[in-house]
Amino acid sequence: MALWIANVHVTDEAAYKKYAAIATEAIAEHGGVFLARGGHHVQLEGRDRARNVVARFPTVEAAVACYNSPRYQEALSHAKGASERDLVVVEEV
């Protein structure tokens, strides 16, 4: 299993909604399941970004394939310029 962890500061809500709609489909198509999407959080270290997303994928490779897929790249075109993001995929232990 692998976790896709995104920390996001949204700068354009309308454009980011387009991203989220398409990204949700792409993530599901690659076996991803959301564990957290926004919601209450407590920032203990580092940059505080209001939107934190965690999705679980069957493997690191599945998560990376999702990111590189044409559908997710279409979604990402809406997020660029509409957000500041950090994204990491990490294998579960």
Domain boundaries, the chain: 2-91
Could you tell me whether strands 83-91 and 51-57 are parallel, antiparallel, or unpaired per DSSP bridges?
unpaired
Query: What does the pLDDT average to over 71-81?
Result: 96
| Angstrom distance (rounded) from CA 5 to CA 55 | 7
Interval 78-91 mean pLDDT? 96
Q: How confident is the model at residue 38, as a pLDDT?
A: 87
Please give the CATH number for the structural domain made up of 2-91. 3.30.70.100
Q: Is the dihedral of CA 19, 20, 23, 25 positive or negative?
A: negative
Nearest Cα neighbor of 53 from 68, 70, 39, 73 is: 39
Per DSSP bridges, beta strands 2-10 and 83-91 are antiparallel
Write out pLDDT tens, residues 5-56: 999 999 999 999 999 999 999 999 999 999 999 889 999 999 999 999 999 9
Beta carbons of 7 and 47 less than 8 angstroms apart? yes
